[in-house]
A and B are shown apart, each in its own frame.
Chain A
């Protein structure tokens, strides 16, 4: 139990747009006995500037890693992008001395030095590795039997596999599926589950991500899922926030609620829909809530 203490790295998109993810994650983790410490004066993980200047992205990531080193605590993220960026920077800077020296030159200007003393985890890893499916099962008081959902793990939690290095299958991710089954819900298979949501390029082109999202939503509906479960704020925005626009663009109706995994788990742990901010979802999970009698 003593290792269940993490420095919570929120990143930007969650505080900007997705209180529903943050609130539900905090409530669930609190119930599971995980202690979260607030990260002091952090900055963006660096992901958004990697395409324009990778060394700058690495140094922004490294500053966050140094803050955690100062606290002597491991980092917990709720976002795939933050996880992928911080984890990759941590691994690269630990392994590549020339690169570490270069980034440390930058960090020296702000009185910091990357030492490589901490690790970075995503909430999916924490639930799977630190708590474990067996112990998680003990917390399920309201099993979601009969509910059929689909999962979208998202790219940066599993790829590139050599850098993520967590043992999940990048082409057919299983960790989130197992976590979903613990809640009592059924997790259906559909075509190309590991395919990208496309949200990272929405700022330069909307047509491509919308087409990708439309295809995924169609496949999930065809598989008979009543909801889609995500673990990344960016993927969530693509499928929930943008769903009405995708429906309008293609004159199709999906009406597929998209829940953060922490909301699904919270329901199974007996938390109330309002506590988990299900009311803040754009696609209202009306039928789903009737189904589970919440």
Chain B
């Protein structure tokens, strides 16, 4: 790897994002990787390694690896870190940045975000299911105030990102 591929300011960029503030305190003990449910399935997704790559500034390699999307957000790494580094929040920051800069995300998130923006809910509720609520004796589901939800998407700049973003289907894991 050539030195030009290293971005020395990258860790500062990451630590300015909510939850990622303590990345500089990671001392590479490996507790996060040892306790991660995903680490054994992926050569890339080892939380300790990801934290080190952030500290080193390997931005390109981090943001372009699909395995970033394998974190289940179980937060075991956050609870067990002796340095109080929110490892999974750092992964979230990396995902957020990857979407913002590379404009690519797993298609499932594109669908989720689009559904929320259009209906307020993450799933498109079929009319039959809303009717079934009645049959079940359940109160009607309120209609979400879609125009307000859309304004929040607008304010965050995300409505524009959804329109221009590309998506990919699945993250493959090797055997």
A28 to B161, CA, bound (A): 44
Query: Contact: A40 with B38, CB < 8 Å?
Result: no
Total inter-chain residue pairs, C-beta < 8 Å:
179
Within 8 A of B (CB), among A77-105: 92, 96, 99, 105
A204 pairs with B116, CB closer than 8 A: no
A42 interface hit (Cβ, 8 Å) = yes
Contacts A22-B138, A40-B142, A109-B152 given; does A15 touch B158 at CB 8 Å = no
Q: Does A59 contact B (CB under 8 A)?
A: yes
* Segment of A121-129, A154-162, A222-230, A244-252 engaged in the interface with chain B: A154-162
Q: Which residue of A lies closest to B71 (CB)?
A: A201
Residues facing A in B23-82 (CB within 8 A) are 37-38, 41, 69-76, 78-79
A56 touches B79 (CB 8 A): no
Which of these binds chain B: A47-55, A134-142, A177-185?
A47-55
From A41, A59, A160, A198, contact of B143 by CB (8 A) = A41
- Shortest distance between the CB of A239 and any CB in chain B (Å): 15
- State whether A56 and B152 are in contact (beta carbons under 8 Å apart), knowing that A12-B121, A16-B123, A41-B143 are contacts in the complex: yes
Known pairs A48-B112, A54-B92; A10 contacts B141 (CB<8 A): yes
Interface size class of B (residues with CB under 8 A): 35 or more
CB interface residues, B 100-147, toward A, < 8 Å: 100, 105-106, 108-109, 112-113, 116, 120-123, 125, 129, 132-133, 136-139, 141-145
**B17 close to A (CB within 8 Å):** yes
User: Do B74 and A51 have beta carbons less than 8 Å apart?
Assistant: no
Query: How far, in Å, is B91 (CB) from chain A's closest CB?
Result: 9
**Interface-central residue, A23, A39, A41, A44, by most chain B CB under 10 Å:** A44
**CB of A170 within 8 A of chain B?**
yes
**Are B141 and A50 neighbours in the complex by a CB distance under 8 Å?**
no
Cβ–Cβ < 8 Å partners of B71 in chain A? 201
- Is the CB of A43 closer than 8 A to any CB of chain B? yes
How many whole Å from A114's CB to the nearest CB in chain B? 12
**Smallest beta-carbon distance A168→chain B, Å:** 12
* Interface residue B5 (Cβ < 8 Å from any Cβ of A): no
How many Å from the CB of A169 to the closest CB on chain B? 10
Given A16-B121, A159-B74, do A48 and B37 touch, yes or no (CB 8 Å)? no
A selection of 23 A-B contacts at a CB cut-off of 8 Å is A12-B122, A15-B121, A16-B129, A19-B132, A40-B142, A42-B142, A42-B144, A48-B113, A49-B112, A50-B92, A52-B95, A55-B156, A59-B152, A109-B155, A155-B76, A159-B76, A159-B79, A194-B76, A203-B109, A205-B171, A205-B172, A205-B173, A207-B173
